[in-house]
């Protein structure tokens, strides 16, 4: 396992322990795998070898948190992860269940306990592990009592099939309700410099030491356009708007765990380099004001 003295680029993002002081340490800048599938997050990628290369290069760069889901493909991303990185020495693999797929860009919440258990077992087989490092509820299904969904996660954890439990797209009330049933190690909500609708959730996670995994971390819209705040800052610092967006996230909270996704090695290397991009307080204030 990599150490705190690790000199690989991702190490500059700092460390966070999933699940508290006794949890698994990961570099805060991870990698999402949704883009390693076909159009509409459906089917295999056009170039499977390129997808494998991205994952292996990420590990070379010190990325040790890889986020996936049974619904990416579906099944495709988990299988590519296994091909590229098994047996995952020193790596943390996070996956998700709770969404059904019926076609490209079609997603449906489905949180019946027996389904979550079935999908957990399938992810164990597809990833080739005896225990999933981080198992996340992809969505809370409004048609199923929330306590039943949280209870299923707690049972899987008690049985040793899951090391840590996470939630996705939830509010503070849902996190608090879940914590009455199971320890919550992470929360994964949409969050970026242009979309801070989950600021209250981030504050709660920061106060409670819960990892916050922002999806769509570099979706900055007009801020990244020529002349925008991210573009201006990037030009001044010799970086790119995407790097500035990631650097901003990393300084936003000590529990922030961005997982930018890509299917291109050069883009991956650019993203990981964001861990070393310096943002002083004046720059951060300028970006906050612009956003």
Flag the least confident range among 95-109, 135-149, 198-212, 271-285.
Answer: 271-285
Cα distance between residue 239 and residue 233, in whole Å: 8
Query: Does the pLDDT at position 10 exceed 90?
Result: yes
Comparing 3 with 84, the larger pLDDT belongs to 84
What is the DSSP pairing of strand 92-97 with strand 65-67? parallel
Cβ atoms of 80 and 36 within 8 Å: the answer is yes
Cβ atoms of 235 and 241 within 8 Å: the answer is no
Cα distance between residue 102 and residue 259, in whole Å: 25
Of 185, 109, 119, 129, whose CA–CA distance to 156 is shortest?
A: 119
Phi, psi torsion values for 46, nearest 5 degrees: -65, -30
Query: Does the pLDDT at position 248 exceed 70?
Result: yes
Determine the average pLDDT of the residues in 167-183.
98
Predicted local distance difference test score (pLDDT) of residue 2: 40
* pLDDT over 70 percentage in the chain: 98
Predicted local distance difference test score (pLDDT) of residue 166: 98
pLDDT per residue as tens digits for the range 100-159: 999 999 999 999 999 999 999 999 999 999 999 999 999 999 999 999 999 999 999 999
pTM, two decimals, is: 0.95
Determine the average pLDDT of the residues in 273-287.
92
Predicted local distance difference test score (pLDDT) of residue 160: 98
pLDDT per residue as tens digits for the range 211-229: 999 999 998 677 777 888 8
Cβ atoms of 182 and 150 within 8 Å: the answer is yes
pLDDT per residue as tens digits for the range 35-52: 999 999 999 999 999 999
Predicted local distance difference test score (pLDDT) of residue 220: 64
Identify the band that residue 258 occupies on the pLDDT scale cut at 50, 70 and 90. Answer: very high
Identify the band that residue 6 occupies on the pLDDT scale cut at 50, 70 and 90. Answer: low
Which residues is 212 bridged to in the sheet? 187, 256
C-alpha Rg value of the chain to the nearest Å: 18
pLDDT per residue as tens digits for the range 120-134: 999 999 999 999 999
Of 96, 99, 123, whose CA–CA distance to 109 is shortest?
A: 99
Q: How many helices (H) and strands (E) does the chain have?
A: 10, 11
Q: Which two tokens stand for residue 199?
A: 């600021």
Judged on CB neighbours under 10 Å (0-12, 13-18, 19+), 33 is buried
Catalytic hit among 72, 88, 110, 191: 72
Is residue 72 among the annotated active site residues? yes
Query: Does the pLDDT at position 291 exceed 80?
Result: no
Determine the average pLDDT of the residues in 168-186.
98
Query: Does the pLDDT at position 1 exceed 50?
Result: no
Predicted local distance difference test score (pLDDT) of residue 229: 86
């Amino acid at each position: 396992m990599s150490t705190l003295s690790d000199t690989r680029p991702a190490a500059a993002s700092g460390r966070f322990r999933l699940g508290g002081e006794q949890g698994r340490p990961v570099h805060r800048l991870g990698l999402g795998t949704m883009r390693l599938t076909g159009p509409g997050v459906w089917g295999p990628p056009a170039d499977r070898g390129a997808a494998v290369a991205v994952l292996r290069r990420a590990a070379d760069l010190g990325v040790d948190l890889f986020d996936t889901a049974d619904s990416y493909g579906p099944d495709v991303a988990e299988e590519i992860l296994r091909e590229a990185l098994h047996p995952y020495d020193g790596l943390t693999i996070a996956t998700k269940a709770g969404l059904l797929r019926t076609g490209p860009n079609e997603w449906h919440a489905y949180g019946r306990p027996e389904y979550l258990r079935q999908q957990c077992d399938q992810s164990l087989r597809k990833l080739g592990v005896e225990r999933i490092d981080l198992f996340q509820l992809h969505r809370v299904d409004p048609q199923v009592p929330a306590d039943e969904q949280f209870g299923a996660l707690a049972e899987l954890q008690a049985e040793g099939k899951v090391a840590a439990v996470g939630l996705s797209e939830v509010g503070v009330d849902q996190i608090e309700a879940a914590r009455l049933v199971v320890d919550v190690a992470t929360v994964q909500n949409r969050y970026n410099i242009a979309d801070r609708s989950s600021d209250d959730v981030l504050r709660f996670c920061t106060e409670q030491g819960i990892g916050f995994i922002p999806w769509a971390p570099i979706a900055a819209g007009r801020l990244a356009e020529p002349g925008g705040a991210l573009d201006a800052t990037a030009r001044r610092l010799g970086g790119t708007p995407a790097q500035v967006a990631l650097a901003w996230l990393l300084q936003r909270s000590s529990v922030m765990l961005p997982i930018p996704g890509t299917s291109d090695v050069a883009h991956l290397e650019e993203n990981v380099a964001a861990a070393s991009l310096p943002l002083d307080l004046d720059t951060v204030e300028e970006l906050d004001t612009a956003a």
